[in-house]
Structure 1
Amino acid sequence: MINRRIIFHAPRDIRLEESPVSAPGAGEVVVKMGAALTCGTDFKAYRQGHRVLLGDYPSSFGHELAGTVVCVGRGVTAAREGDRVVVANSAPMDDCFWCANGQNHLCPNLKLHNGAYSDYDIIPAHIVRHNLHSLAASVPFEVGALAEPFACAIHAAEINAVRPGETALIIGAGPMSLLLVHALRACGARVAVLGRSKGPLEAAQSAGAEAAFDAEQGVRAWADGRGPDHVFEAVGKPEIYLQAAAIVRDGGKVCLFGGCAHGTVVAFDVHRLHYKQITLHGVFHHNPRHFKEAVRLLSEGKVKTELLVKGEVRLADIPAFFAANADQSIAKTVVRP
């Protein structure tokens, strides 16, 4: 079999290349793409590179995938040929403190798996063992492929320990914010979104946010006059980090969900952090627990996926598609073989 793959060579240089499909090694499986999804992180990588995501270049590309197992390596018991599966892009390696303690996303040897933008993807043994999940025949592949970004949102809700009835404000109204709305609603929180554009704010309300604001005024009144119990920064800009810490109620929690560039320094008002007991949480990626929960909620129809995924593109057209859309914000797009 010939495998067409999108290979990342450098920023703004991705190419469709062909090679024979390799046989899976011990513990590995080969998954035929049913659907992959484009991702804002992939577009960021396309524009400026991304060593955390891609490792050394040239690299396979794409990390949100669902498909069908077509070949299994020696010793595999987690999947059989013909199984419909959702593939995570990481899993514990079982050989360090963090992996052994449910924090494989902090493993110093973390290697994120890429290859969703391919006809066939060879899934490493540790992912097969810990983070390959069955997908019911009733669930479309493109819905299953949302599990990876949704797992990140579920992790954020967990790390802030959101409880039923608490108020949670999301700053930013992009696709990841919509997934945060669903994750926080699943915790029983009251959710509002603060953004700038009418369309995304309306989408956030359709996803389950009870309020949407285009300016900070009104947020405090919505949050019982105190300010929100939780604020989730989903933009990834230093000035929004500061805004999040200023809006949250005294004794509240801020989740820094949007990532800033390496070396970014933010000058927080540490007097407020100290005397008003503001908690700041960083959050990154996910682990198998979050991924499993994401697959469950998606499979049960608890996520309004039609708000998140718009349109389709063929694998062969990915280089042109990324070139045309690299510098604008678009919804997730389904990638087909």
Structure 2
Amino acid sequence: MKEMMIQQVMTAPHKIEFNEVPVPEVKPGQVLVQIKRIGVCGSDIHVFHGQHPYTSYPVTQGHEVSGKVAALGENVTGVEVGQKVTIEPQVYCGECYPCTHGKYNLCENLKVMGFQTTGTASEYVAVDASKVTPLPDNMTYDEGAMIEPLAVAVHACRRPGDVKGMKVAVLGAGPIGILIAQTLKAFGAAEVMVTDVSDYRLELAKECGADYIYNTKNVDFGKAVVECFGADKADIIYDCAGNDITMNQAIQNARKGSVIILVAVYAGMANVDLAKLNDSELDLNTSMMYRHEDYVDAIRFVGEGKIQLKPLMSKHFAFKDYLAAYDYIENNRETTMKVLVDVDPSND
């Protein structure tokens, strides 16, 4: 085992350094993970631009991650050295009302690795064993790094209850929108429509199993809903874009008494038609991160072939090219879905 390792640090917006630091000590109840892959998500990009309201600098990033168990602390069971794993990045207090009622994803003191506390962008990370979830041997490290965003989708698809047989519209064909569309089908939804303003992303959604795709630059959303689902419209509408345009599309065109679920992080204060929301007695719901059972189902769905992850993998970058990864995303916004950073490019 090496004594020193390389760690990424974002010192300020648009600035990344790599420091040599000691490999962390593995305390009792902890697991030392050799990091293999890290995914870059929209929240990371907000940090890169200095626009994340709950992140200060310096910060070591990385919360979408896969790796291999390198060492075990005392009293750790359930994982073995050499096993593939992912890490659940929530750090919660375990004492507040949400935590003591099974909703630790809503912890009053929640911190997330890579934002309010140290992330996984290091060659090795020591974490509590409770945050380590084993991956199947036949799952790739690339897929393992995408279990976290897939768990976001799984949790969102649980929010309305049983979706089996339902007709659902998903607004926004980014990575989360496409993962939600696939997860809805995995949970038994009858038909899923996906909308966006990018033909490239819509075609990718179609490739990943969406039943209908519409570019709302060219087609009115309300007409598209009726064309797909008939006069009864959608049972559920997911907003995975998170802006006034998509939320108002949902409110104005939802069937009275139906459900809207906001998944995207809304940028700024909303200016939406709450009078229409009230008049239609719509349930406006939200979804926040995930819990362990969402990781378990995410891994199961990939293993059963119900979720395609590879079409969403856009490009790989070496660990020391972290800054170049952000530049690539910035210059290829429409066609970039998921960029992966290879902390250790090997697959063993």
TM-score if structure 2 supplies the norm length? 0.89
Preserved CA contact (<8 Å) 2:153 2:179: yes
Q: Does 1:166 align with 2:166?
A: yes
In 2: Cα distance, 1:87 partner to 1:324 partner? 26
In 2: Cα distance, 1:267 partner to 1:85 partner? 42
The residue type paired with residue 339 of structure 2 is T
Post-superposition CA distance 1:30-50 (Å, at most 9, x none):
111122222222112211242
**SS state at 2:168 partner:** strand
In 2: Cα distance, 1:198 partner to 1:100 partner? 45
Match of 2:319 in 1: 315
**SS state at 2:99 partner:** helix
Match of 2:234 in 1: 228
Mapping 1:34-183, distance limit 5 Å? 34-52=36-54, 55-90=55-90, 92-114=92-114, 115-123=119-127, 125=128, 128-129=129-130, 131-183=131-183
Mapping 1:183-198, distance limit 5 Å? 183-189=183-189, 190-198=191-199
Preserved CA contact (<8 Å) 1:117 1:335: no
Post-superposition CA distance 1:291-310 (Å, at most 9, x none):
22112212333211121112
The residue type paired with residue 311 of structure 1 is K
**SS state at 1:59 partner:** coil
**SS state at 1:222 partner:** helix
**SS state at 2:207 partner:** helix
Q: Does 1:268 align with 2:273?
A: yes
**How many residues end up aligned between the 2 structures?**
329
RMSD over equivalenced CA pairs, Å: 1.8
- Aligned residue among 286, 291, 309 for 2:295: 291
Preserved CA contact (<8 Å) 2:167 2:236: yes
User: Which consecutive residues of structure 2, in runs of 5 or more, have no partner in the other structure?
Assistant: none
- Aligned residue among 7, 10, 20 for 1:8: 10
**SS state at 2:75 partner:** coil
Preserved CA contact (<8 Å) 2:143 2:310: no
In 2: Cα distance, 1:269 partner to 1:95 partner? 35
Match of 2:23 in 1: 21
In 1: Cα distance, 2:279 partner to 2:329 partner? 45
**SS state at 2:90 partner:** coil
Identity of aligned residues (%): 26
Deviation at 1:65, TM superposition (A): 0.8
Which sits farther off after the overlay, 222-231 or 327-336? Answer: 327-336
TM-score if structure 1 supplies the norm length? 0.92
**SS state at 2:142 partner:** helix
**SS state at 1:169 partner:** strand
Deviation at 1:91, TM superposition (A): 5.6
Change (3 A) 1:50 1:26: farther
Preserved CA contact (<8 Å) 1:47 1:326: no
Post-superposition CA distance 1:48-96 (Å, at most 9, x none):
24254xx442111011111111122222223232221111111654322
User: Which consecutive residues of structure 1, in runs of 5 or more, have no partner in the other structure?
Assistant: none
Deviation at 1:97, TM superposition (A): 1.8
Deviation at 1:256, TM superposition (A): 0.8
In 1: Cα distance, 2:160 partner to 2:13 partner? 34
Preserved CA contact (<8 Å) 2:167 2:235: yes
Preserved CA contact (<8 Å) 2:91 2:111: no
In 1: Cα distance, 2:312 partner to 2:25 partner? 35
Q: Does 1:257 align with 2:263?
A: yes
Match of 1:300 in 2: 304
The residue type paired with residue 266 of structure 1 is N
The residue type paired with residue 260 of structure 2 is V
In 1: Cα distance, 2:183 partner to 2:305 partner? 13
In 1: Cα distance, 2:43 partner to 2:303 partner? 24
In 2: Cα distance, 1:267 partner to 1:218 partner? 21
